Structure 1
Amino acid sequence: MRVGAAAAAIVVAALPALAPAIGQDKPESILPPGFGEPAPPPPQPRPTSTARPGTAAPGGAPAPAAPPTTPMVQPLPSTRGDAAPAPTPAPSDSPTPAPIDPAVLAQYEMPVAARRSLAIVGPAGPREGAMRTDAFGNADGRFLEALMHRTAAPLPSRWLSILLRRALTSSLATPPNVDGADFAAERAWLLLRMGESVAARAVVQGVDTANYTPKLFQVAMNSALATGDPAELCPLLPNGIAATHERGWALAQPMCAALAGNPSEAKAGITQARRRGLATGIDLQLAQKVVGAGPDGGQAVTIEWAGVDALTVWRFGLAIATGVTIPESLLSSTGKQATYWYALAPSIAPAAKVAAVDAAAGQGVLSSAALIDFYSALDEDDDSPRDASATAQDLREAYTATTGDARYAALRQIWGPVATPVPYARLVLTARAAARLPRGTKVDDYRALIGSMLTAGLDRSAARWRDIVPQGSDAWAMIVLVDPDVRAPLSYGDLSSYSGGGDAQLKQRLLFAGLAGLGRLSQSDVERAAKSLDVRIGMENSWTRALDRAVAANQPGTVALLAAIGMQTPTWQGVPPAMLYRIVTALRVVGLEGDARMIAAEAIARA
């Protein structure tokens, strides 16, 4: 892979910032060009020994053209949201290896019984709540890859992010017309853009190294660096260099030599890298830092960030691996994905990543239970920041206080003053404590109480308060959306009574979209409300037609991907109610009603 500057050459791909919000008056533009229109069939993927035979796309719809080939050497994006997503790594032909003595090869080859097929790839099974193996059905793999590539992440919806992670990490059958390793690479690449570094690494590791393609080698380097584990590169080194020709692999050679206990070879490799101009400045210094961390490394390297104006995946990964503190100014100037990687990095002390962990929990990268565990650890850490320690103590009080009033007072301390919006991560933190609050306790903010429970999916706990919360409030709206035991539909009058806080008109339209999508309004009331609220639920475009086809084919994985495509906007305020209606309806019909209910309620909580 050819690159320009030497310093840039060792930087593996960085992740794209959020693309500009799609114009809501032209939702048809969100699918790849040509989808649903007659076009010549695209060329077949390169032949490999692991590729599965393909079939035509269902319904005769052609798959979109593959993304353009571009080196993955871009730095991490800014947070301005003015950059389009970086292109996906594209496969390229690998050189034919020299013949190897079969007797020597037999000593190192994996036994046939231990090899994993590319027909099914993914780390999550039924115990982890994974989707079924055929979640993508017979959808054309090229179309699915294009959807993944064009999904701008992170998404505005926490619950949709959780659903998409579940779809991407499930043990899935490789769809037609794609190589199994390339499809795994595309899944991992999207997970990295979502901030899911650990999940991305798990998907990459689900493929035997003998089956790696150039595309998967590229994503594997990114996932290793995003998790701060350069040792993951070592088993991939020889083939990675041959497949991609990236200088990052060449610079990884001395690091791996050091980690293997060969300091002389490692030092010679660093000297050669400097002489050849493979890297300069902080990029080379961080590699030297890894070499020095190996057995008998014998060299202490001081990292100076002065003059460094961009945080790249290379710099992030090696700094995390060697315990080098990344300046907050650099971390905050990159995409949100890096913040979530930082939160997941086990080498970072809890006290140093409180803000990152809160952000990751608010996005769904961390669960409510994981956030509670984190603050429990902070409660026992003498080095915890004062504010975080106080929050941890309030959380303990919210669980252990002897009266409901005292428990609620502790929750109120965590949420802050009534007149100010509650940070979403704080609602995630208090979900289970809120669910334990005795029914009937005097509450001054039902919206926060119910919204908190629902961040952890505690729908029945929230439904206990249905007769207590004020009719027509945000809390009431969330409960009527998530209550799993609702049988009779709501009336048009019930919908009209809703006057939630904030943008009341938008939220009433979102409530209507959620109720209609969940089938909780009669058909006549749906038509009446759609007209009065000007929600064009009958609108058709390429996206709605693709969604309808996925629903008809019962493909929950494809529906999840298309739902993400329908939310290409940084905030809930940019999600059109008509799209929310389509998403909720599609999820419900393909058996994901629980996710649909939570997404609908999240719209009320966050819009």
Structure 2
Amino acid sequence: MATSRIKRALAGAGAALAFGAAALAQQQQQRPESLLPPGFGDPAPAPAPAPSAARPAPAPTAAATGTFIQPLPGASATPLPEPSPTASPTALATPRYVLPASARRSLALVGAADSFRRDAFGGADGRYLEIVMRRLSAPLPSRWLSIALRRLLVARVDTPRGVDGADFAAERAWLLLRMGESVGARAVVQAVDTDRVTPKLRQVWMQAALANGDPGALCPLAPGAGDSERGWVVARAMCAGLTGDARGRTLIADARRQRVASGIDLQLAQKVMGAGVDSRQAITVDWTPVVQLTAWRFGLAVATGATVPDELYGTVGAQVNGWRALAPGIPLIQRAAAADRAAAMGVVSSAALVDLYSALADADDVPGALTRTTNGLRDAYVASDDGARLSALGALWDEGSDDAGRYARLILTARAAARVTPRAGVDQADRLVAAMLSAGMDRTALRWQPYARAGGDAWAMLLLADPDARGIRPGSIIGDYAPDGASAQRKKQLFFAALAGLGRLSAADIEENAATLDVRIGSPNGWTRAIDRAAAEGQAGTVLLLAATGMQAGNWRAVPPAALYRALRSLRAVGLDGEARMIAAEAIARLA
């Protein structure tokens, strides 16, 4: 009987254990699958008991007849042997690195370069400046005004009153992107610590990263960006894939299932993930159904080496030429045409443009048109005499198909033009001077002043660009200028407005010539009052923004001469005389 009761008890206990195990297994099956890496969210294992120190064997008991030797009073006893230290079986949390307060960047001073003075905006209201920047239509017609504006927007300047420093940085970066300045925009957004990024800056941060073809720049913000914007949802998957995180595939699968992204946008994101560690996936990008190029598609295509069809670039603005020219992921052959346009916009310098074509000279499989350009550029620099160099320069200048293309050729050949010996009777003097001034080589260009034909374009540009010009010129000098071509009348108007804005004409001559040429430089309006007030208060940054506002147009033919006059006068008033002179000379050079 006792034996049977024991058997029944053991059987009941076994059934209970089996039921408990089944219940535990069912509970584990019902638990949702964790998206966290292994180890996250699981309870930490209980630490194993530390091995106890080995106790020394008890000393043999002395014989009753012997004497037990005691330590001397005051003598230190020999310590017991301790076990060797061992690593704790409990994983220690990795300490989070926190910047000290002294290393954090203040939102009161935001920027990436020391290219402008800190108090550029003075006491201007930041909300007003944000509206001006947001409404500014870019790119601008003037290369030199764009260069000056870029220097302002990337500079470390005091945040004006009434706005958050991160939000103001976002507005600056957004304007830089619209100007084609992708590298400068990325530098400005990254000048703010990531834990101080605002929703506005986060939006512009993504645009700046994509304009640079740099999806990795999204990763510092992706974890905390939330799910309100689809781009950040996919960005988290891309960043996981780039770092080899196993969650990447799960996240991208969720994005596909929830229709967060599809088609070309999803394919490009998967291709970015394919560049990560141990991705083991190859993605084919199909551009066939795509009819519109977006910042997302451009940025991820550049990052992964996918070639964007040329016809899609016709669906975007001119600023993308700047993005393409500055993107190292695009092959040089594909960047050449965009670099010409970017140079005319002020994004690419003369030296950088020469470097690009020099690299093409050593490249393989260069198209014939580019080969002719690189060969002509080499001859323009190193031909045996001035005649051969002038011939090469003329051929390069004639390759420009429109205003921007022709001006880009002047920028490309600026230093080659400086190698030509000044002398009388050179038919190409106008374009030689224009080429040198396109790169800011004013004193080099002034060597041609004794040989420039009176009343010609070179003569007019040198009058405007002369850094040593002082005093008032006679009003008759306006009548001495006799430009040629379909834009002759507009050139005369701009020449007059530039001379007046640079302070080279008397008040009486300004009034007389304004009436003769129908340039209403004295008509006040809200813009003239605003820029005059900013100039009077010494707000160089505000003056630059307002000058760009007054001169925003599709090309130089559409720039009002009265706006040029007011802009140049205000720039001089705040100490930007060099920029004013280069803008004035450019007005003549850009009109054929």
TM range (shorter): 0.7 to 0.9
- Other-structure match for 2:80: none
- Mapped partners of 1:325, 1:531: distance in 2: 55
Contact 2:424–2:451 under 8 Å retained in 1: no
SS class of match (2:463): helix
Per-residue deviation, 1:320: 0.5
1:165 has 2:150 as partner: yes
Amino acid at match of 2:154: T
Aligned equivalent of 2:439, options 456, 460, 467: 456
Contact 2:417–2:436 under 8 Å retained in 1: yes
Aligned equivalent of 1:512, options 488, 493, 496: 496
SS class of match (2:393): helix
Per-residue deviation, 1:535: 1.4
RMSD of aligned Cα (Å): 1.8
Structure 2 counterparts to residues 404-423 of structure 1, below 5 A: 404-416=386-398, 423=406
- Other-structure match for 1:179: 164
1:179-207 CA deviation, whole Å, 9 max, x = no partner?
00000000000000111000000000100
- Other-structure match for 1:537: 521
- Other-structure match for 2:285: 303
- Other-structure match for 2:410: 427
Contact 1:351–1:383 under 8 Å retained in 2: no
1:136 has 2:118 as partner: no
SS class of match (1:107): coil
- Other-structure match for 1:598: 582
Aligned equivalent of 1:284, options 259, 266, 275: 266
Aligned equivalent of 2:111, options 106, 109, 122: 122
After superposition, the Cα gap between the structure-2 partners of 1:271 and 1:418, relative to the gap in structure 1 and judged at 3 Å, is closer
Structure 2 counterparts to residues 293-442 of structure 1, below 5 A: 293-416=275-398, 423-440=406-423
SS class of match (1:566): helix
- Other-structure match for 1:475: 458
Aligned equivalent of 1:274, options 252, 256, 259: 256
After superposition, the Cα gap between the structure-2 partners of 1:343 and 1:368, relative to the gap in structure 1 and judged at 3 Å, is same
- Mapped partners of 2:394, 2:545: distance in 1: 37
Amino acid at match of 1:456: A
Amino acid at match of 2:495: L
- Other-structure match for 1:90: none
Q: Unpaired segments of 5 or more residues in structure 2?
A: 1-91
Per-residue deviation, 1:522: 2.3
- Other-structure match for 1:192: 177
1:570 has 2:559 as partner: no
Contact 1:254–1:265 under 8 Å retained in 2: yes
Per-residue deviation, 1:417: 7.6
Aligned equivalent of 2:141, options 130, 140, 156: 156
- Other-structure match for 1:207: 192
Highest Rg: 1 or 2?
A: 2
TM-score by length of 1: 0.80
Per-residue deviation, 1:105: 10
Per-residue deviation, 1:529: 1.1
After superposition, the Cα gap between the structure-2 partners of 1:562 and 1:420, relative to the gap in structure 1 and judged at 3 Å, is closer
- Mapped partners of 2:472, 2:423: distance in 1: 26
Contact 1:404–1:441 under 8 Å retained in 2: no
Contact 1:446–1:469 under 8 Å retained in 2: yes
Corresponding residue pairs, total: 498
After superposition, the Cα gap between the structure-2 partners of 1:156 and 1:420, relative to the gap in structure 1 and judged at 3 Å, is closer
1:464-487 CA deviation, whole Å, 9 max, x = no partner?
111211111111111100011223
TM-score by length of 2: 0.82
Contact 2:113–2:155 under 8 Å retained in 1: yes
- Mapped partners of 1:311, 1:523: distance in 2: 52
SS class of match (1:594): helix
Per-residue deviation, 1:605: 1.2
Per-residue deviation, 1:254: 1.4
1:64-122 CA deviation, whole Å, 9 max, x = no partner?
xxxxxxxxxxxxxxxxxxxxxxxxxxxxxxxxxxxxxxx98972322212111111011
Per-residue deviation, 1:339: 2.0
Per-residue deviation, 1:297: 1.2
Deviates most, 298-307 or 417-426: 417-426
1:555 has 2:544 as partner: no
Contact 2:142–2:583 under 8 Å retained in 1: yes
SS class of match (1:464): helix
Amino acid at match of 1:591: G
Amino acid at match of 1:109: V
Aligned equivalent of 1:228, options 213, 228, 236: 213
Amino acid at match of 1:343: A
Per-residue deviation, 1:447: 2.1
SS class of match (1:235): coil
- Mapped partners of 2:477, 2:589: distance in 1: 19
- Mapped partners of 1:441, 1:359: distance in 2: 33
- Mapped partners of 1:165, 1:600: distance in 2: 18
1:274-307 CA deviation, whole Å, 9 max, x = no partner?
1111111111111111111111111111111111
Identity of matched residues, % = 56
Amino acid at match of 2:247: E
Per-residue deviation, 1:554: 0.4
Contact 1:198–1:227 under 8 Å retained in 2: yes
Contact 1:405–1:441 under 8 Å retained in 2: no
Instruction: Name the structure, 1 or 2, with higher relative contact order (CA <8 Å, separation 6+).
Output: 1
- Mapped partners of 1:315, 1:419: distance in 2: 29
After superposition, the Cα gap between the structure-2 partners of 1:417 and 1:144, relative to the gap in structure 1 and judged at 3 Å, is closer
SS class of match (2:567): helix
- Mapped partners of 2:222, 2:237: distance in 1: 11
Contact 2:110–2:159 under 8 Å retained in 1: yes
1:418-445 CA deviation, whole Å, 9 max, x = no partner?
9997711100000111112111175222
SS class of match (1:581): helix
Per-residue deviation, 1:534: 1.8
Deviates most, 393-402 or 476-485: 393-402
- Mapped partners of 1:358, 1:364: distance in 2: 10
- Mapped partners of 1:417, 1:163: distance in 2: 28
Amino acid at match of 1:585: R
After superposition, the Cα gap between the structure-2 partners of 1:545 and 1:399, relative to the gap in structure 1 and judged at 3 Å, is same
Aligned equivalent of 2:481, options 482, 498, 503: 498
Per-residue deviation, 1:488: 4.0
1:250-278 CA deviation, whole Å, 9 max, x = no partner?
1111111111122x321111111111111
- Mapped partners of 1:105, 1:505: distance in 2: 72
- Other-structure match for 1:112: 101
- Mapped partners of 1:442, 1:405: distance in 2: 12
Contact 2:424–2:452 under 8 Å retained in 1: no
- Other-structure match for 1:88: none
- Mapped partners of 1:284, 1:197: distance in 2: 24
- Other-structure match for 1:525: 509
SS class of match (1:382): coil
- Mapped partners of 1:484, 1:151: distance in 2: 30
Amino acid at match of 1:437: V
SS class of match (2:449): coil
Amino acid at match of 2:287: W
